[in-house]
Structure 1
Amino acid sequence: MTGMPTRHLIHTHAPSFLSHARPPPPSDVAACQAFQATPTSQRQMTLSNLCYINFNNHRRLEVVCFGMLSPRKFMQKRKKIELFKDAAHEADQKNWRKLMLEIDETGSAVPVLRSRKASNDSLPKDLVLGTLVRLKQLKKWNLVSEILEWLRTQQWWDFNEMDFVMLITAYGKQGDFVKAENIFSFMNKKGYTPNVVSYTALMEAYGKGGQYSKAESVFRRMQTSGPEPSALTYQIILKIFVEGNKFEEAEQIFENLTNDEKSPLKPDQKMFHMMIYMHKKAGSYEKAHKLFCLMAERGIQRSTVTFNSLMSFETNYKEVSRIYDQMQKAGLRPDVVSYALLIHAYGKARREEEASAVFEEMLDAGVRPTHKAYNILLDAFAISGMVEQARNVFKCMRRDRFTPDLCSYTSMLSAYINASDMDGAEKFFKRLRVDKLQPNVVTYGTLLKGYAKVNNLEKMMETYEDMITHGIKANQTILTTMMDGYGKNKDFASAVHWYKEMDNRGCPPDQKAKNILLSLAKTEEEQEEANQLVGSNASYQTPRFSNYSSDDINEVSDESDDDYSDDETELYINSDSSEIQDELIANKSS
């Protein structure tokens, strides 16, 4: 079997699209027969292509063989063919594209527009308006506000009410509530009556600027004095309350919309998504599932985003797979977020074959992986120490024109460490700096954990000192790793020192650190000291951990530790294409 590609065993709990992989057509059978007759060297080259080998047994398992991450058509840049009405239209389009390219290259819009105006180049109003619309679509609100502020000073431009509203919106999207306030006040002085759009824009400016009370004040004023809040107003105020952890206020507004028969507005799909995310943030799965069911009762269409929201709650790969199947049965197509969630669930469960198969299926379905999806797959392989597969994904990122970031490098480092390949980890850590990236506390923590795992205290201490030298402060995770490393080498006194350092550095030990310290205490004297430090009753704590090592506790704890922050979940839940959902996409890297 030398040279064979990785075999992926599809588990019976895998999603339906995996457990019912298509059988090979007759043409493939003939091809396989011809393949057997070819020389060995040619076989090895041919094996990089996708092939299927099926067999039946009492569990109806199926083995799928394929070359890892072979190039797909969507990865190849295709030339877009454009049609123009006439020569004049073609000239206008080329002129506008040239303008947009100059703005993109300079990073500023006004100097480009001013230069064109000064050199008597064509700068019609339609061209400026089209530029504003395009920049708005691209969410480059800093450039939108820059252009609008410049247009306010230009006599040839009739700066009207809609321009003012767009300017408030632009400042609102940037969270610059001071400038949004000033424009709002100036509009009043100019005799423009505030409308629902300008009020909503001001409210959003307060929300993005962290002024939650002021945002709520604007909303309450709209409710009592008008203008009547729109659906977008409700979407944004719910988002503001959720971001500000004002869950009760958000729930009250949502319930009023749901239960008030006189209300002209009813919760829409986006509002339901926001509330489901809120319950995720609050850790209330039951309430989220209740809303999921309520959507069906109210006749509100559930989308892929809705199912992604539920999938993001689950940590058990079987449950994630079940929800995924339910989504497909509802006639919905998985998006990159759906695949990423499923891949991550399999990775956390150390089911690397399924994780790889899902990623391959995503590529076959023509779903273009995002940068975050690649990082999630890297993490899935890193957890299981599958270095070769992780390296393939890392290369695939570059091939797909994504630049690996610090999270990508840290995941690769983790893959080497989990494979107990510290030489490879050290080389990759050096490569990180060669590639002009600076390791953060998570990167250092990963390397420290590796040295602790192989009981190399000298290297562990060198790495710790290097981290401090580079101005990175140790957090609780780092100090727990140091404590565990020394404790496992029967240096309980040093373990106690690192335990005390947590309090000294303002990061009190959590339950995991306490459990590890208790597990490191072997003698009666050490157990007594550990219990005093933990502040627990010896008769309760000692028996609990006397039969376990710190490795056991670390293994259990690592099952619940996620390499991604809770904020990252926003990527999964709020993958809707609408404006308010797009803004909720957060970074998913630690």
Structure 2
Amino acid sequence: MAPALSLRPCISASSSNWSQPKMHANPFNANIKIHRRLEVVAMGMLSPRKFLQKRRKVEVFKDASDEADQKNWRRLMKQIEDTGSAVSVLRRERIKKDGLPRDLVLGTLVRFKQLKKWDLVSEILEWLQSQHWWDFNEMDFLMLITAYGKLGDFNGAEMVLRSMNRNGYVPNVVSHTALMEAYGRGGRYNNAEAIFRRMQTSGPEPSALTYQIVLKTFVEGNKFKEAEEVFESLLNREKSPLEPDQKMFHMMIYMQKKAGNYEKARKLCALMAERGVPQSTVTYNSLMSFETNYKEVSKIYDQMQRSGLRPDVISYASLIKAYGRARREEEALAVFEEMLDAGVRPSHKAYNILLDAFAISGMVEQARVVFKSMRRDRCTPDLCSYTTMLSAYVNASDMEGAENFIKRLRQDGLKPNVVTYGVLIKGHAKVNNLEKMMEIYEEMQLNGIKANQTILTTIMDAYGKNKDFGSAVVWYKEMEHHGSPS
């Protein structure tokens, strides 16, 4: 496969000097104009995109009977989605039609399983278990215990396992793994480990899925030593019952990241290649998440493309974030444009990261274009988006704009949180309007929101800069009362 071409501007090692104005022509988007301090006018973001174009699906049916069955099934699925209850819809259908075809019920279960709507899967199976007309067999038991496992309902999983025994079905690797997962997701990590150890010693022999789930359980329960021991045993080709797969490697890479052992995480990525385990976009995304330097993140991103892998929304967001932190707004925008042109739908997180890249530098007009584009791309701005947009006004010292925007935030039905108030307080402190700063602080208190250390430090510093040392000391003591000063 030919290497994918990057649409990002070339970056030299010496391009970190931002003291001089840059004239940078971008051949990939004529709508981006760059002058002086990278004042990007990103109007190209508002053009229609591939992922917004609806494609009409052409349906092919075997015959008229098949068409009627398919349309009836889709009608049922929509009713279940609208009501949020599967059993009430199926029960009505059974009464109306004087019975339910087995294929329709099984198709519904399989579809919800594919959608990972385990609450609906368990609801249907619980109902079927009490119905005399339904032959509740071993496969039904296994699907129900799997659903309880995914939901973290260990009480329900235990109940199904007992019921299986009473009906003469011997518990197998699927039922044991599902019960182990139920304990893990329910926070009962020791119980989950006990089942796994019992499977190792007396059977049934753990499967690849068992190992994937036990590693995930150990990592979520911060049982890192146990996870490493299990993984090391799998790496021993002479004794291991199976080879560690991609998901196991990814879980261990995630664990090393969680533990802060970035070097070990990199070595695991190298070991994947050495062992012939296919690397995926997830692998490279993990590597990018370890880095803070935009040059290193960019190298990993380019390596991923040279490997013939397509970046996903997380890949783009990681690169945008790296450029944003480095205050390289031009590159951040270019990557975002590349993502849109590739037909990748932006997530809330990706939009908020780009918004933050402009907000950090107080580039209000560019931030407003991003904010407007969110709604165009069906990403309704959340409180984080509004707060980030607010910080753009604050960093530009445009407090009139900030005050108008906070009014819009409220008009749109959102309530400021401690971070939102902190941004406003920082803004008024920055322009030395201590009266307005304290007015915002009192409003926050009246709304039952407690100040954090950042807000208290901002207020203390504001009084100190105004040489009101008495008030500064009072706020320092307030900080001590809330916890150790940062």
Q: Tell me if TM exceeds 0.5.
A: yes
Matches within 5 A, 1:421-460: 421-460=398-437
Identity %: 75
Residues 468-508 of structure 1 show CA distances to partners (whole Å, capped at 9, x for unaligned) of 22222222223222222322222233333233323423x32
Please name the residue that 1:11 is paired with.
Answer: 11
Query: In 2 relative to 1, CA 23–270 (structure 1 residues): closer, same or farther, beyond 3 Å?
Result: same
Q: Do residues 313 (structure 1) and 290 (structure 2) align?
A: yes
Residues 366-414 of structure 1 show CA distances to partners (whole Å, capped at 9, x for unaligned) of 2221222222222222222222222222222211222111111111111
Query: In 2 relative to 1, CA 401–13 (structure 1 residues): closer, same or farther, beyond 3 Å?
Result: farther
Please name the residue that 2:234 is paired with.
Answer: 257
**d(CA) in 1 for partners of 2:41 and 2:352?**
24
**d(CA) in 1 for partners of 2:321 and 2:270?**
25
Look up the SS of the partner of 1:262 in the other structure.
Answer: coil
Matches within 5 A, 1:260-299: 260-299=237-276
**d(CA) in 2 for partners of 1:468 and 1:246?**
40
**d(CA) in 1 for partners of 2:163 and 2:268?**
42
One-letter identity of the residue aligned with 2:223: K
Instruction: Structure 2 unaligned segments of length 5 or more: list them.
Output: 1-7, 16-24, 35-39
Query: In 2 relative to 1, CA 104–121 (structure 1 residues): closer, same or farther, beyond 3 Å?
Result: farther
Give the CA deviation at 1:190: 2.4
Give the CA deviation at 1:11: 3.5
One-letter identity of the residue aligned with 1:508: S
**d(CA) in 1 for partners of 2:435 and 2:54?**
49
Q: Do residues 331 (structure 1) and 308 (structure 2) align?
A: yes
Output the aligned Cα RMSD: 2.5
Please name the residue that 1:206 is paired with.
Answer: 183
Please name the residue that 1:508 is paired with.
Answer: 484
The answer (yes or no) to whether the contact 1:441–1:474 under 8 Å persists in 2 is: yes
Please name the residue that 2:199 is paired with.
Answer: 222
Query: In 2 relative to 1, CA 122–373 (structure 1 residues): closer, same or farther, beyond 3 Å?
Result: farther
Please name the residue that 2:218 is paired with.
Answer: 241
Instruction: Name the TM-score, length of structure 2 as normaliser.
Output: 0.90
Look up the SS of the partner of 2:97 in the other structure.
Answer: coil
Instruction: Name the TM-score, length of structure 1 as normaliser.
Output: 0.75
Please name the residue that 1:375 is paired with.
Answer: 352
Matches within 5 A, 1:127-206: 127-206=104-183
Give the CA deviation at 1:328: 1.6
Please name the residue that 1:88 is paired with.
Answer: 65
Give the CA deviation at 1:276: 0.8
The answer (yes or no) to whether the contact 1:14–1:321 under 8 Å persists in 2 is: no
Instruction: Tell which has more relative contact order, 1 or 2 (C-alpha 8 A, sep 6+).
Output: 2
Give the CA deviation at 1:286: 0.8
Residues 290-339 of structure 1 show CA distances to partners (whole Å, capped at 9, x for unaligned) of 11111111111111111110100111111111111111222222111111
Q: Do residues 468 (structure 1) and 449 (structure 2) align?
A: no
The answer (yes or no) to whether the contact 2:393–2:401 under 8 Å persists in 1 is: yes
One-letter identity of the residue aligned with 2:337: E
**d(CA) in 2 for partners of 1:223 and 1:14?**
56
One-letter identity of the residue aligned with 1:96: W
Matches within 5 A, 1:34-49: none
Give the CA deviation at 1:121: 6.2
One-letter identity of the residue aligned with 1:124: P
The answer (yes or no) to whether the contact 1:377–1:393 under 8 Å persists in 2 is: yes
Instruction: Structure 1 unaligned segments of length 5 or more: list them.
Output: 1-7, 16-20, 25-48, 55-62, 514-590
Query: In 2 relative to 1, CA 122–450 (structure 1 residues): closer, same or farther, beyond 3 Å?
Result: farther
The answer (yes or no) to whether the contact 1:317–1:342 under 8 Å persists in 2 is: yes
The answer (yes or no) to whether the contact 1:416–1:422 under 8 Å persists in 2 is: yes
Look up the SS of the partner of 1:331 in the other structure.
Answer: coil
Please name the residue that 1:418 is paired with.
Answer: 395
Count of residues in Structure 1 that have an aligned counterpart in Structure 2 = 466
Give the CA deviation at 1:461: 1.6
